[in-house]
């Protein structure tokens, strides 16, 4: 009897220890997942434009006036911008990537306005001039876009125009995932996009934690589910297949942010919408994540600027004084840095014009 009791006690103790381990492991995992996830989605305030080579609105505002508009996404008031002539007969919504804001795409906005579009762009939650203590998570851009489109639908003037979407990176995911909703969209261009929030988060996690991220996958799923409900499960492929509208997917073959052969929307093989056009971007030096829109001349100029900055960096022992940094960027030709690949942009514009039936 004593041996039987001892075996039962051992089994009970083992089960107890296992239960404690599972609880502790789960609590630690939830803490780690929340910490890593929240770290990836902080607030992204507007950059110091005096020490970057980005195009600034002040550089173009005389020729491209805009109207500021506001709408809410949850508790946060988001900043929107409307460009283009009131006589324009089509509307394009431009959706930005993570870490940036609407003004990060001023070169593209200028181009589309020049082609006769009205353009609506907005700063996502926690980005640039919009409210939000953080960007919350990857699916948030879909939530924000949904509210932006509802705002447009309720607008007396804008709601009368045929609507198309253009998004890059985070925004590229949004403009396809939003097709799971019931919005009247005529055409979509998705550039450098992931297919789903989980695909992208897991891919980034592997870069940080290696194969250990697989153990945390259930907790990542639960945390995103807690934050976003069913929105977290929306995929670009499901959105595209949910519609019959034209969708143009572009992606650089050497993308180092959204892996072309991994999480990328372009790598999915289950797209059934016959009006989808898929184009890998293979141009040397213009097939990454952020350089694909630039012209060859812009790439060459940027290399010259980068070399000059490296020299300045070494000259000041890797600590360039702020005023000297400002003076350096004041001499940079921002228009040359942001010069667009017109062949690529024309293909996007022509696709969208055809999609809306003009």
Rounded Cα distance, 275 and 288, in Å? 25
Q: What is the pLDDT at residue 216?
A: 80
Instruction: Count each helix (H run) and each strand (E run) in the chain, helices first.
Output: 12, 8
Name the residue with tokens 């003009």: 358
In this prediction, residues 176-187 reach a mean pLDDT of 97
Name the residue with tokens 């490296």: 310
pLDDT tens-digit profile of 93-104? Answer: 999 999 999 999
| DSSP three-state, residue 11 | helix
pLDDT tens-digit profile of 290-346? Answer: 999 999 999 999 999 999 999 999 999 889 999 999 999 999 999 999 999 999 999
In this prediction, residues 190-215 reach a mean pLDDT of 87
At 219, the pLDDT band (50, 70, 90 cuts) reads confident
Report yes or no: 302 and 238 within 8 Å, Cβ to Cβ.
no
Q: What is the pLDDT at residue 4?
A: 52
Name the residue with tokens 């599972």: 22
Q: What is the pLDDT at residue 5?
A: 58
Lowest mean pLDDT among 11-20, 136-145, 261-270: 11-20
At 211, the pLDDT band (50, 70, 90 cuts) reads confident
Assigned fold of 55-196+234-293: Rossmann fold (3.40.50)
Rounded Cα distance, 231 and 240, in Å? 16
Rounded Cα distance, 306 and 7, in Å? 71
Q: Above 90 in pLDDT, residue 284? A: no
Q: What is the pLDDT at residue 22?
A: 61
Q: What is the pLDDT at residue 9?
A: 76
State phi, psi for 195 to the nearest 5 degrees.
-80, -35
| DSSP three-state, residue 101 | coil
Rounded Cα distance, 242 and 240, in Å? 5
pLDDT tens-digit profile of 249-279? Answer: 999 999 999 999 999 999 998 999 999 999 9
**Structure token digits, residue 71:** 């709408």
- To the nearest 10°, report the CA torsion of 294, 296, 300, 303: 40
Q: What is the pLDDT at residue 322?
A: 95
Q: What is the pLDDT at residue 154?
A: 97
For residue 252, the cross-strand partners are 281
What average pLDDT does the chain have?
Answer: 92
Q: Above 60 in pLDDT, residue 26? A: yes
Element (H, E) at 190: strand 187-191
List, as one string, the DSSP characters of 65-82: -EEEEEEEETTEEEEEEE
Q: Which range, 1-5, 210-214, 301-305, is most confident?
A: 301-305
In this prediction, residues 114-135 reach a mean pLDDT of 98
Q: What is the pLDDT at residue 21?
A: 62
Rounded Cα distance, 175 and 9, in Å? 58
Name the residue with tokens 């034209």: 246
Report yes or no: 41 and 136 within 8 Å, Cβ to Cβ.
yes
Q: Above 70 in pLDDT, residue 76? A: yes
Residue 327's contacts (CB-CB under 8 Å, 6 or more residues apart) are none
SS3 content of the chain, % helix, strand, coil (to 5): 50, 15, 35
Lowest mean pLDDT among 40-54, 66-80, 102-116, 209-223: 209-223
At 16, the pLDDT band (50, 70, 90 cuts) reads low
Element (H, E) at 168: strand 163-168
Q: Strands, DSSP E only, in 219-318?
A: 247-252, 276-281
Report yes or no: 282 and 314 within 8 Å, Cβ to Cβ.
no
Q: How do the domains of the chain map onto residue ranges?
A: 55-196+234-293
Rounded Cα distance, 171 and 120, in Å? 13
């Amino acid at each position: 009897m004593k041996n039987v009791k001892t075996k039962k006690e051992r089994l009970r103790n083992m089960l107890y220890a296992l239960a404690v381990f599972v609880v502790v492991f789960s609590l630690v995992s939830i803490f780690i997942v929340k910490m890593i996830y929240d770290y990836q989605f902080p607030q992204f305030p507007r950059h110091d434009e005096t020490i970057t080579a980005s195009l600034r609105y002040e550089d173009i505002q005389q020729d491209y006036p805009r109207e500021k508009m506001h709408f809410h996404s949850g508790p946060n008031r988001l900043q929107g911008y409307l460009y283009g002539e009131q006589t324009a007969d089509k509307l394009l919504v431009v959706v930005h990537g993570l870490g940036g804001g609407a003004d990060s795409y001023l070169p593209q906005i200028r181009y589309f306005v020049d082609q006769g579009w009205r353009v609506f762009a907005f700063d996502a939650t926690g980005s640039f001039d919009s409210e939000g203590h953080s960007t919350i998570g990857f699916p948030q851009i879909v939530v924000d876009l949904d509210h932006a489109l509802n705002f447009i639908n309720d607008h007396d003037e804008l709601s009368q125009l045929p609507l198309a979407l253009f998004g890059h990176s985070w925004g590229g995911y949004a403009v396809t995932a939003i097709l799971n909703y019931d919005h009247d969209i005529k055409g979509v261009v998705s550039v450098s996009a992931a297919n789903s929030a989980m695909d992208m988060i897991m891919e980034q996690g592997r870069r940080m934690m290696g194969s250990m991220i697989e153990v945390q996958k259930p907790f990542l799923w639960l945390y995103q589910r807690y934050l976003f409900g069913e929105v977290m499960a929306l995929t670009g492929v499901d959105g595209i297949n949910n519609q019959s509208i034209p969708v143009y997917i572009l992606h650089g073959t050497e993308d180092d942010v959204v892996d072309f052969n991994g999480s990328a929307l372009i790598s999915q093989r289950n797209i059934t919408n016959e009006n989808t056009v898929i184009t890998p971007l293979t141009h040397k030096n213009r097939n990454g994540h952020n350089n694909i829109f630039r012209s060859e001349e812009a790439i060459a100029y940027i290399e010259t600027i980068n070399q000059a900055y490296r020299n300045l960096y070494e000259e000041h022992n890797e600590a360039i004084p702020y005023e000297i940094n400002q003076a350096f960027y004041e001499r940079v030709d921002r228009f040359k840095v942001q010069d667009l690949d017109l062949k690529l942009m024309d293909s996007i514009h022509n696709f969208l014009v055809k999609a809306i039936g003009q």
